[in-house]
Chain A
Amino acid sequence: MRIKTTREQRILYFKTIFRWILYYVLIFVSFIVMTSGTWLKPVLLVPIALAIAINNNQYGSVVTGAICGFLIDIACGKLFGYNAVILAFFCIVVSLLFELYLRNKFVNYMLITAAVSYIQCRLDYRFYYKIWNYDNVERIFRKYTLRIWIYTVISAVFIYLVIKLINHFLMPKNHLTIEEVITTKTQQNQ
């Protein structure tokens, strides 16, 4: 049982809602950036979905992953739901990994983001270009897919910082349970 007063609960409730609003504002802004202009752009929504996944439970992660995926599909003109499936899956995996095995560290996040965005880019290349066997299709991989992946990994640094900032102020801190307090006291006395 957690020690929380009604006031604390209200603050926690407010902070959680505000945090998620900021997450979705960030998602919306990234989507707008992705749909503007003609230059090659990073797939910003992948690192965002993963950054949210490493800090939240699986339910929130999977929904956010799916929404980000749908937005990627719209922005990149892919089959609606294609990236949603991929990203929702990876968000669950990443959320579990960070809950059970990995520590919430920048290096871990970067490695996971690099791996997931590479898989996402690679699958995109395979299903949208390679499979159709266009002439010089490898050129698309070299000139587009790899560049997009690199841009995405670089953008992940900034996204991590933004999410970290949001979490720093709005992520509720775990309260000690009565049992934990007693255990800690006992250990100190010994």
Chain B
Amino acid sequence: MREFLKSTRFKILLAFLAFLVGIMIYAVTKGGYSVSGASFINTATKPFRKVSNKISMRFEHKIDKINNADKYYNENEELKKEIGILNSQLTEYEALKTEVEELRKFVSIKEEHEDYVLSVPCDVLGYVANDPFRSFTIDKGSADDIKPNCPVVTAEGLVGITIEVSEHVSTVRTILSPDLTIAAVCSSSNADYGIIEGSVMEAEKGYTKLSHLSLKNKLKPGDLMITTGTSGLFPKDYSIGKIKSIDYDTSGLSMCAEIEPCIDITRLTSVIVITDFSGKKEDD
């Protein structure tokens, strides 16, 4: 042993160890960067390591799959169940979110018009089959204090009127129908009056028609038309729709306008019925 410690071999080995320690200390001083030698080796071997790693990973995966097939199968089943539960929760959450949003809108109607007596929000059961004027049925009826000829609205604007009411279902005639006429006035000027009445041509586009306008009217596209409330069927100052275009009537004695309803009547999901309001015409 003493001979070894005194030998040149030991001194060389010691020197080499010192060199390695030196490299280590140098590497520490590089602040996270590789020393040039290590960097070179890494770069040179990178593609080989990549390929070999890929192969080995695949191989390991295969083996792992075979070894743990039962475990993964059970895990998969459990996850599937979990996904099912989460999906149903998500659906429920989405439905609740939509409902809350709808209710918020309806609360705003009540806040703006304190005299209104509103029904509970009604879901649209479905559109009347093959009706060009988009009549639809709602899931509330006389049991919810809804009567025939009650205005049907959303927070955005007027939708129509109830025409047939049974205990739990009502049919609504929309403002696209030529069978429904509403006195309307321009909200900005409060001077240009007309009659909103659906037409076959406009209903195809989801629009309605404003007719009997004076030739001297000052309406322009974009103007909002609101109810006048004079008939007692509809509350005063409720939005109906915006003017799309204005033209002369077929007779040339008056003007008419194309009205885009405030809400897309062809895609309704829920509405609210105004069962009473100040100025409502009482039934005989």
Contacts and interface: CB of A to CB of B under 8 A. Distances in A.
Nearest to A76: B129
B200 interface: yes
B201 interface: yes
B178 A132 contact: yes
A135 B200 contact: yes
Given A132-B178, A132-B179, A140 B132 contact: yes
Contacts of B204: 139, 143
Interface in A18-63: 34-38, 40-41, 43
Contact size class for B? 20 to 34
A137 B135 CA distance: 17
Contacts of B134: 38
A41 B129 contact: yes
Interface string A161-178: 000000000000000000
A75 B132 CA distance: 14
Contacts of A127: none
A38 B130 contact: no
Contacts of B179: 132
Contacts of A134: 178, 199-200
Nearest to B128: A77
Contacts of B129: 34-35, 41, 43, 75-77
A143 B201 CA distance: 11
Contact of B201 (A40, A77, A139): A139
Given A134-B199, A136-B199, A140-B200, A38 B266 contact: yes
B116 interface: no
A110 to B, nearest CB: 21
A144 B130 CA distance: 7
Interface in A51-110: 75-77
A109 B201 CA distance: 36
B167 to A, nearest CB: 14
B40 to A, nearest CB: 69
A131 to B, nearest CB: 12
B126 interface: yes
A114 interface: no
A43, A140, A148 — most chain B CB neighbours (10 Å): A140
A20 B83 CA distance: 41
Contacts of B199: 134-136
A34 B132 CA distance: 15
Given A38-B266, A77-B135, A77-B171, A137 B200 contact: yes
B127 interface: yes
A143 B129 CA distance: 14
B131 interface: yes
A36 B126 CA distance: 6
Interface of B: 125-132, 134-135, 137, 164, 171, 178-179, 199-201, 204, 266-267
Closest 10 CB pairs of A and B: A77-B128, A136-B200, A75-B129, A76-B129, A35-B126, A34-B129, A134-B178, A38-B127, A139-B200, A77-B135
Interface of A: 34-38, 40-41, 43, 75-77, 129, 132, 134-137, 139-140, 143-144, 148
